[in-house]
Structure 1
Amino acid sequence: MTNILIIDDDDQLRISFERLLKEEGYGVCTAASGEAGVRMINQVMPDLVMLDLRLPGMNGLETFKQIHGMEPKLPVIIMTAFGTTETAIEATKRGAYDYVVKPFDIPQMLSTIHHALEAGRFMRSPVHMGVAPEKTQGEAIIGKSPAMQEVYKSIGRVSATDATVLIRGESGSGKELVARALYQHSLRAEKPFLVINCVAIPDTLLESELFGYEKGAFTGATHRRVGKIEQAGGGTVFLDEIGDMPMNLQAKMLRLLQEKSVERLGGRETLPVDVRIIAATNRDLEDLIAMGQFREDLYYRLKVITIWLPALDERTGDIPLLVDYFLTRFAAELGVENPGIAREALSMMVSNPWPGNIRELSNTLQKALIFNRGAPLSISDITNATCGDAKSHHVKEVGGDDSIRAWLRSLLSKGAQENLFENCMDHFCGMLVGEALNLTGGNRSQAAKLLGMSRPTLHAKIDKYNLKIETSIK
């Protein structure tokens, strides 16, 4: 279970916060002072610390310095009242993951906690390379094919340098794991590693997320905020899906790479920064340049070193190793015996095209294992686990489900409607989450695994779509 330590002298806040986080599935421990919090870290290593700045005795900033000195990769979120925002900014510059201003916006707070836990996991969970699957407990880059041997060599040669790296490959091929391996074997491994997904963050927020902003920069900017680039001082920033970065931000990114400096949104001060940039994309950057959608000068700044990840259909000989690895890993996570896989089922997996690459293969095995009854995975187990994907591929080929298309046509025939796209997406997303909960008998942990999301995110979806949860499998 993921454990969160709350350090705050406000008894009521601690109690309320502890109740909220436990409802979200987290383990929680609390301390009423900085000194007690530091002692607790020595006793029970948490995955995240929520730290108030105003504490009796040793104040929050002093407490943070002690925690950061003991465990530099332990993410800390600072809790602050408006009047102590500048101190919170100082803590962020010193390595705190982020700060939140009281009173809290609960959904935003839970989102910050989720991302902080992910950042902590990325920094602290080692990524193994080229090892035997049965000897690997955590996350690993698996494969013995010639193409993967070249990837390992590239990581070994490049990781100890400060060179900018561009990782290229199809979606689901493991680009994030390569970025983490580069970080963990680098000279910056004791400094922050922050991930920014250029697709997941709306264009209007991406600039402030990367570069920060000054008070008054826009409506709602009530105080200064440090951006992720500045926050990661001395460390590494991984820009995932950089091919989708808006053109106006590409110019600022070029300046960062050329001059090692940034400007906060709404600010005039040029701030020197010391970060290493690792970027990744599944887009054809050369085509984007030709279409005027990606800056050629930024392209050459990014591709100082390029690491190409092969698609799974280019290294089918690695599939048995990957199957062995994922079955061992998921069985351990689910607390069940590894049932193995029948020879004919493995042969089918080797011959399958896997357009989603390793991500699709791992999701298939995870779903098959959840519904497995202990016998080696059979062809039917794999077929049932992939039937949803196979159906979606079939829909593309034959033109889609007629009833759904008829429903959509009837909506569109009514003319322009406000928020039609968002309403339709909410309708289908609600159906998807509901089906996952029905399939797992209301088990939220298993449903979250099926959907590839965290439990807090699933809870937010359940509330958003007002879903009724069945507690028994029918």
Structure 2
Amino acid sequence: MSQKQRCLLIVEDDIGLQSQLRWSFEDYDLVIAGDRPTALALLRRHQPAVVLQDLGLPPDAAGTTEGFATIAEILEEVPHTKIIVVTGNGDRDNAVKSIGSGAYDFCFKPLDLEVLRMIVDRAFRVHELEAENRRLRSQSPAVFEGVIGNSTAMLNAYRMVEKVSPSSATVLLLGETGTGKELFARAVHRLSSRHGGPFVAINCAAIPDALLEAELFGYEKGAYTGAHKQTKGKIELAVNGSLLLDEIGDMPLTLQAKLLRFFEERVVERIGGRELIPVDVRIICATHQDLPALIRDGRFREDLFYRISEVSIRLPPLRERAGDAVTLARHFLEQAASRHGRTVRGFTAKALKAIAEYPWPGNVRELENTINSAVIMADEKQIGLEALHLGAVDDDILDLQKVRNDAEKRAIQRALTQASGNLSRVASLLGISRPTIYDLLDKHGLKRPTSPD
């Protein structure tokens, strides 16, 4: 159990009971508070795993308002804290209310120290197990319909896909090249009621303008030279399923008008044909283009834009997905090593730092190609920085002391600003004493405020 996990905060205003509890829990790292402000200051400073909380605190020692207010503020600041409430003998209503407010357990006065010890020990164990579970979950990459990523930006995109997929709304996926737009389109299809139907994709930028219409709408035999048989277009092939119009921003204006008619009437007319064919298709569109800018330039129809963007989902570039580059790199390394029969097992520390810091202008596609190439060319068991060809990185791979000092300095500067230089208020905001403030100001080379408190 770590030092922080062994910290027990006792919130009790009775001096005699404080001494009794101090003796009973001497093997824990104890901090004791007699009121709510002190308790919150100690909470911020020590972040105890468990809090033993009396409900009757000054200035409402005869009541419970201060006790319940303390519980609420502790859980707001550190939600995973285990709070054990101490209340009067037989006061079951407040005991039950405290559990409803988020407390872990309760104990009645007069205290049975043997029972209380068992409750406290169990609370520490539960806190430790929950912390380990959170750590393991954070290390396991979230996999959503074939898409990997734990970052907040990706989790938000997952939630939008889950919400929109069961509907019949037309979805517009926006994102740079290589952000996984087709993967997300397939996820929309698989999570919809059409998952048993076909998923058909067509890249509007990869097909010459003269052929794109025939690919989308099909053609009749003899419609033009070389049309030797009747051929269905992609729209018809996707009936009862989903059609992805990838890179729709590159579609020529002349074809946009015909596509708009399809959106409005849900019928297609093959080239050289006279028959209107009704089709039932879910349309998903994707583009890396700035469609509003294309509309302003006269290169994209505004009415079509509103048809295709009933719900728009922005897929974040890899540089905005904190932590995902390393997660994806490890995934791609395992795939590449298995595919090429290599025994590469991981990355050096400098390689991981370079992967995390590189902006990846080609996004996931560039990362996958980089890792695949590095695995093929690797001479060692681990992929080194040189094999990635991403450039040099700083030597401070993980300088925790520097990170802590920088964070500490920023926190002090922010507190000084909020408190307008009043050191008493700064100490309260940071949960430390005034002498400690003076030491920290000197440590970080910060100028002491000249105005009196």
Q: What's the TM-score bracket when you normalise by the shorter of the two chains?
A: 0.5 to 0.7
1 CA distance for matches of 2:160 and 2:297? 30
Q: Per-residue CA shift, 1:43-89, capped at 9, x if unaligned?
A: xxxxxxxxxxxxxxxxxxxxxxxxxxxxxxxxxxxxxxxxxxxxxxx
Q: 1:165 to 1:134 in 2, by over 3 A?
A: closer
**Distance 1:338-1:184 versus aligned 2 partners, 3 A rule:** farther
Q: Give the AA of the match of 2:383.
A: L
Counterpart for residue 242 of structure 1: 248
- 1:252 aligns to what SS in structure 2? helix
Task: Name the structure 2 match of 1:163.
Answer: 169
Report the equivalent of 1:193. 199
Partner residue in 2 for 1:368? 374
Task: Provide the rounded CA distance (Å) in 1 between the counterparts of 2:353 and 2:317.
Answer: 18
Name the SS for the 2:200 alignment partner: strand
Distance 2:220 2:208 in 1: 19
Is 1:220 aligned to residue 226 of structure 2?
Answer: yes
Relative to 1, partners in 2 of residues 1:212 and 1:132: Cα closer, same or farther, differing over 3 Å? farther
Kindly state the Cα deviation for residue 374 of structure 1 after the two structures are TM-superposed: 4.0
Report the Cα distance in structure 1 between the residues aligned to 2:176 and 2:324, rounded to whole angstroms.
17
The answer as to 2:158 corresponding to 1:152 is: yes
Q: 1:316 to 1:135 in 2, by over 3 A?
A: closer
| Matched-pair contact (CA < 8 Å) for 2:209–2:252 | yes
Corresponding residue for residue 257 of structure 1 = 263
Structure 1 unmatched runs, 5+: 1-129, 388-474
Q: How far apart are residue 309 of structure 1 and its match?
A: 0.5
CA–CA separation in structure 2 for the residues paired with 1:131 and 1:316 = 13
Q: Map of 1:80-119 to 2, 5 A cutoff?
A: none
Please say if residues 203 and 245 of structure 2, whose CA atoms lie closer than 8 Å, have aligned partners that are also in contact.
yes
Write the mapping of 1:435-454 to structure 2, written as runs, cut at 5 A.
none
Query: C-alpha separation between the residues in 1 aligned to 2:230 and 2:201?
Result: 21
Q: Which residue of 381, 386, 389 maps to 1:380?
A: 386
For 2:237 and 2:329, the matched residues in 1 are separated by 38
Change (3 A) 1:135 1:303: closer
Cα offset, 1:376, TM superposition: 0.6
The match for 1:352 is 358
**Counterpart AA for 1:154:** M
Corresponding residue of 2:337? 331
Partner of 1:184: 190
**Are residues 1:279 and 2:269 paired?**
no
- What one-letter code is carried by the residue in structure 2 that aligns with 1:274? D
In the alignment, the residues of structure 1 paired with residue 217 and residue 360 of structure 2 have an alpha-carbon distance, to the nearest angstrom, of: 38
SS at the partner of 1:254? helix
Compute the displacement of 1:337 (Å): 3.0
What do the CA deviations read for 1:109-157 (whole angstroms, capped 9, x no partner)?
xxxxxxxxxxxxxxxxxxxxx9976797x98312111111110101111
Q: Is the 8 A contact 1:133 1:325 kept in 2?
A: no
Report Cα offsets for 1:274-298 as digits up to 9, x if no partner: 1111010000000100011000000
Q: What corresponds to 1:446 in structure 2?
A: none
Q: Confirm or deny: 8 A CA contact 2:244 2:283 kept in the other structure.
A: yes
Secondary structure of residue in 2 paired with 1:316: coil
Post-superposition, which runs of at least 4 consecutive aligned residues in structure 1 deviate over 4 A?
130-136
What aligned pairs does 1:16-27 form with structure 2 within 5 A after superposition? none
Is residue 142–residue 150 contact of structure 2 (8 Å, CA) maintained in 1?
no
Q: Normalised by the size of structure 2, how large is the TM-score?
A: 0.54
1:373 is displaced (CA, Å) by: 2.5
Does structure 1 conserve the Cα–Cα contact (< 8 Å) formed by 2:195 and 2:241? yes
| In the alignment, structure 1 residue 313 sits paired with structure 2 residue 319 | yes
Contact 1:134–1:328 (CA under 8 A) maintained in structure 2? no
Shift of 1:316: 3.3
CA distance in 1, matches of 2:247, 2:218: 20
Superimposed CA distance per residue, residues 164-208 of structure 1 (whole angstroms, 9 cap, x where no aligned partner): 100001111111110111111111111111110001111111111
Equivalent residue for 1:295, pick from 294, 298, 301: 301
CA distance in 1, matches of 2:313, 2:142: 26
For 1:176, the aligned partner's letter is E
Q: Distance in 1 between matches of 2:166 and 2:350?
A: 43
Distance (whole Å) between structure 2 residues aligned to residue 378 and residue 326 of structure 1 = 15
| Counterparts of 1:162 and 1:361, CA distance in 2 | 34
Output one character per residue of 1:220-243: Cα deviation in whole Å (capped at 9) or x when no partner: 212211111112110111111000
Measured at CA, do residues 347 and 132 of structure 1 come closer, stay the same or move farther in structure 2, by a change above 3 Å?
closer
Residue aligning to 2:397:
none
Which one has the largest radius of gyration? Answer: 2
Match of 2:347 in 1: 341
Counterpart-to-counterpart distance in 2, 1:234 and 1:278: 14
Q: How far apart, CA to CA, are the structure 2 residues paired with 1:277 and 1:265?
A: 21
Q: How many aligned residue pairs are there?
A: 255
List aligned pairs for 1:392-471, cutoff 5 A.
none
- Matched AA of 1:303: S
Percent identical among aligned pairs is 49
Amino acid at match of 1:251: A
SS in 1 for 2:347: coil
Of residues 276, 286, 304 in structure 1, which corresponds to 2:310? 304
Separation in structure 2 between the aligned mates of residue 294 and residue 265 of structure 1, nearest angstrom: 23
| Deviation for aligned residue 1:332 | 2.1
Relative distance call for 1:284 and 1:134 in structure 2 (3 A) is closer
Does the 8 Å CA contact 2:141/2:148 hold for their aligned counterparts?
Answer: no
1:226 and 1:278, CA in 2 relative to 1: closer, same or farther beyond 3 A?
same
Q: How well do the aligned residues superpose, as a CA RMSD in angstroms?
A: 2.0
**Match of 2:235?**
229
3-state secondary structure, aligned to 1:199:
coil
